[in-house]
Structure 1
């Protein structure tokens, strides 16, 4: 009954918003005091690049599909991104078919890493997008400023420094209600003076299990919260010293896993210093230090009942923790025709675990540290303006990375002594890129071409999660080698009076690509990590046409492809061809829009290959989903938005997916988890 009332309410809101938009489109003048111009988009349905290979968006704006509950969900609005799904929340982000630490994921310019050996709690699980001011993405190995090894790209969720000309208070917040018991609350409070400021950001998100397009209940409920506070000293508008602290927790049910997440405890501390506007060659100084600690509990009894016929018939829990600390110092230099950023960064992390059978019995077990990692690097990135139209951007960095194996025994049903106990691996890893950009004389057109090379140390999940390593190696820690990627990126962007269009393409060679083989034997399923050379290519394109005043038509398309070089076997976990078409009216006060998402079938699969989360489940079918949205800016302080996702209640599943778990009645043959059916939502945002 509540869902029906919500559908009716949202439909009524959309009808009112559509009638308001039509009234505005017919030329009726709103009262002068309500007329608003040069405002941000009221509802986001897609994102376009702001520069070559760089994307920036405001994650606080309402978006369609329904506002995201985690960082991976929000990234799906950017062409080229997909999410490896396992239920309602906490999917794993994938960019151009690349996964894991090939994506450099930063929150507040600090590394935040999950702890689950199967990535139930990847870094984006601890990010609530609406509590950040800006999302910045650089695709490909085309920057060295934020860490090495990011062959797929770099993602930064950022919070801006607030400056006050005079003492004051700013409040921003939102409430959202949606189908399936979804409700979100967000608060951002700022208070300050020209010399000091304080900031409190908090959110809570809750949802019940959703129903797919066929009316089947999918175990997917979650309940999570985050709170972060920062205190800053601003002796002048160009200087800031800030200290921050944060915490969060939650729980989530997973239709595609043998356990659920009953705890996502996060504790963070940060310190940053920035100085800008300096005279002379040295123009900026930026430094930060951070400490991030996650304490994650997985079990099969808090949010479900143990499956007596499954692999874990008894109540079982696993408690894992990942503590990361580090820092960065960067100096900005400049001259008449150039800007240079140079600096150093470092990071160290410690992973620990404990587990037990019986409800709550893990709490009596001692922690066992199984891995330690350390990294230190130096970097420099130059932007050289050859003249008004021609530009060269280039960078280089060198990293020293170490990994230490602290496991006393191997994991599994029959643990054995660990032959690499106490061993340390060290690697020196260079990264370099160069890109040329040119503005076409007399036209709003820029093209670019760049090549980048990066080397990546195998991460925790590649060294410690597999059951086996390459042939002849004692285990993955002893045998898996660093991954090296060389990639060409080319593209073009046109910014005309009525049409904006862009296209980007890439082609790369991944030497010693880290692959996971999935094998089945007498003792059940197991995984092996090994190296193999791979070829990748693909691209994205988009267009936006301002057909008339306040009206826009647009679309994007993204495609990824990959194969193992020696055999021609398809790389696993490659998202299929995807296109998005949108149409909308937006005059700054009223908006109405439609979004059509079309995804092709995917038959280039490798069921025996995968990643640490899962493997290819076989070919997938294509689908088309249609959604509507509308919004009204009530005044300068209040904004109302509403939408219906999957309007026609389509029953479909994403290609990147986990198989449904038998504890929830799914069959033994792999069945993908299907996506939510028709979903209505309404959101009220306020700013004072």
Structure 2
């Protein structure tokens, strides 16, 4: 949102819009970047009954679909914007083009982020794409939606937190690569993903919305989504919903890949002004998924349900403070996977089932104060996450569990509390500095570690910890300091240099510290004695350009002390601390060849290795090239994606052996049938190539002993029709 528009709305001040680091809007055609503020276990047979999610019959509103952002007007029917934090501060006339436009329909937030240079997403099927930023993933990333944290409930990562985010409804995704700010919670060494709803821009009638329907061949994916918003200067109400149905797709060799799913979601966002300087926003979102087939996991998802609620209060000019913000949230996830309900994975009469849950709640208090060239942000945050997962045997595959095999997450509880302070200082007309410090205190315990499991109840979690590590199962307390130091220098009117140094503490997650699974096929056991990871990073960036040509180059390195590494010992998957190093580079460019023709390019390369071996899930050299031609009512484009052969891999996690390189071509386009009606269509993998990304499900799931790579879809055509009203 432009600064003056932010002020006019009454919801943000100009100083607030400049706060928390510059962010660049990634849109096509290239436009000046606008500084943006990204602020702000169940006993046997007693798994809770799943409540079906009924979709509202009202499917109208904002479709934040996946067409190139430049094809939409900047109002309520605009396509979702991908945003990257690239510096502490950037002047309003600075230019940056670090992200590719979104050029295909995506139905999972992780899949959407594949279009960002330096980001990948691990595929397991048609859902559950796990985001990766510069080789870091899982608990190295903070995923926040409207201020609420969410954690998946599946030990096998079928449901990373991003998969529960209804990507159709969010206006903006802020991608923070690396650790650039201390205000977004603990950890986040790899980066932070901020999914945000903006205040809707309504027409004179005070009502706006849109409706989108789409179809993708190959997987027979049908989608319907919509959003409607109504309000006035004092407040607004926005309601949105989406429904998707997909079958298995075929890869380029004609082999069927298990990827079917049914997904429904709905939510609302309501906001009201409190006087002339305050506001209150309530957000609630629910999602329900079922019959989810995973080619890259040993089980399938029977269902996965999520509920998330957040409340945010903001007040400006409160005494000596420029702003005060209080946010609270709660997110709950219920998940059930088994080997027989979606697909019968084994001819044996006995099946396996694993109900699990993850409940998260917390809040943040944030105060801001600015005087002259100095701006402070001070605050505190608190978060609790409770996770439980139990593995049962089911002799008749009838849903009646016969024996408790393992307490995989034995009633695990993580409690975090932190305080932070961040200073932004405009040292001169061309220099700006940032210093951020935060102190985190973390307590973790497995409250069910002494409960019986396995044959005769002897395989208790605490017995497994003692057997494999000689460690007790008591509460683990960790605390430490994290730091950010940034410097931006405007070298001239078109050239900006940015440097960012950081030191970050990342705590072990539930699987790394408390996993306790043992079966006749092997064991998967966490290590209670793990030390937290200490990430020490440097990120240097140079960007420049004019109206016709823009470019950016970044180099980065991450030295990790006490890196948490998964390894195999016999038939057991275990964890240990070691040291590791990641480093790499990214290049982005955009060329406006004439008024109608433009080209974009993005290149990324990352290398990772520990003291012992190559790091897992590190993408090879990747290149993405786009050529776009647009007229008043229509546009066409092509995207060429090339990945090099990856010879660096970790056989304990990655699929064994090098990953072949690939080259694929995608086509896309749109045509405005009427003022409010747009047809979008395209073809992915035009030449029907058989290929897979190196970052892949591979051997990550101990439920699946077979090492495999999940191939991407073969050739598939897609079409979408979008109708917008009230603008």
Looking at structure 2, the residues matched to 86 and 107 of structure 1 have their Cα atoms a distance apart, in angstroms, of 23
* 1:450 corresponding residue in structure 2: 500
* 2:58 corresponding residue in structure 1: none
Moved more, 321-330 or 668-677: 668-677
Structure 1 residue 606 displacement after superposition: 2.2
Looking at structure 1, the residues matched to 362 and 239 of structure 2 have their Cα atoms a distance apart, in angstroms, of 23
Alignment deviations for residues 346-390 of structure 1 (CA, whole Å, 9 cap, x no partner): 101211234431422259999996211100111122221111111
Q: Report the secondary structure of 1:455's partner residue.
A: strand
Q: Report the secondary structure of 2:112's partner residue.
A: helix
Structure 1 residue 635 displacement after superposition: 4.0
* 1:4 corresponding residue in structure 2: none
Looking at structure 2, the residues matched to 426 and 451 of structure 1 have their Cα atoms a distance apart, in angstroms, of 27
Q: How does 1:211-360 map to 2 (within 5 A)?
A: 211-236=250-275, 238-251=277-290, 252-276=292-316, 278=317, 281-308=320-347, 314-356=350-392, 357=394, 358-360=397-399
Distance 1:475 1:63, change over 3 A: closer
One of 649, 652, 674 as aligned partner of 1:605: 649
* 1:619 corresponding residue in structure 2: 658
One of 406, 415, 422 as aligned partner of 1:381: 422
Looking at structure 2, the residues matched to 555 and 236 of structure 1 have their Cα atoms a distance apart, in angstroms, of 47
1:76 and 2:118 equivalent? no
Looking at structure 1, the residues matched to 214 and 552 of structure 2 have their Cα atoms a distance apart, in angstroms, of 33
1:496 and 2:496 equivalent? no
Check the 8 A contact 1:163/1:237 in 2, yes or no. Answer: no
1:108 and 2:146 equivalent? yes
* 2:619 corresponding residue in structure 1: 575
Looking at structure 1, the residues matched to 462 and 116 of structure 2 have their Cα atoms a distance apart, in angstroms, of 43
Looking at structure 2, the residues matched to 327 and 602 of structure 1 have their Cα atoms a distance apart, in angstroms, of 42
Structure 1 residue 426 displacement after superposition: 1.1
TM-score, length-scaled by structure 1: 0.84
Check the 8 A contact 1:39/1:588 in 2, yes or no. Answer: no
- Return 5+ residue gaps in structure 1 as ranges: 1-35, 469-473
* 1:26 corresponding residue in structure 2: none
One of 83, 88, 93 as aligned partner of 2:126: 88
Check the 8 A contact 1:118/1:465 in 2, yes or no. Answer: no
Alignment deviations for residues 87-122 of structure 1 (CA, whole Å, 9 cap, x no partner): 122121111111211111111211100111121111
1:554 and 2:603 equivalent? no
Q: What is the aligned residue count?
A: 626
Check the 8 A contact 1:411/1:467 in 2, yes or no. Answer: no
Alignment deviations for residues 311-343 of structure 1 (CA, whole Å, 9 cap, x no partner): xx5232211011100011111211221322221
* 2:482 corresponding residue in structure 1: 431
* 2:49 corresponding residue in structure 1: none
1:678 and 2:705 equivalent? no
State the Cα RMSD in Å: 3.3
* 2:557 corresponding residue in structure 1: 507
Q: Report the secondary structure of 1:479's partner residue.
A: coil
Check the 8 A contact 2:109/2:165 in 1, yes or no. Answer: yes
Alignment deviations for residues 504-523 of structure 1 (CA, whole Å, 9 cap, x no partner): 1101210000000023x4xx
TM-score, length-scaled by structure 2: 0.80
1:637 and 2:676 equivalent? yes
Check the 8 A contact 1:213/1:652 in 2, yes or no. Answer: yes
Q: Report the secondary structure of 2:105's partner residue.
A: coil
One of 154, 160, 164 as aligned partner of 1:126: 164
1:486 and 2:486 equivalent? no
Moved more, 183-192 or 485-494: 183-192
Check the 8 A contact 1:118/1:461 in 2, yes or no. Answer: no
One of 587, 602, 610 as aligned partner of 1:541: 587
Structure 1 residue 304 displacement after superposition: 0.4
Looking at structure 2, the residues matched to 315 and 481 of structure 1 have their Cα atoms a distance apart, in angstroms, of 36
Structure 1 residue 495 displacement after superposition: 3.0
1:516 and 2:566 equivalent? yes
One of 574, 596, 603 as aligned partner of 2:640: 596
* 2:693 corresponding residue in structure 1: 654
* 1:408 corresponding residue in structure 2: 450
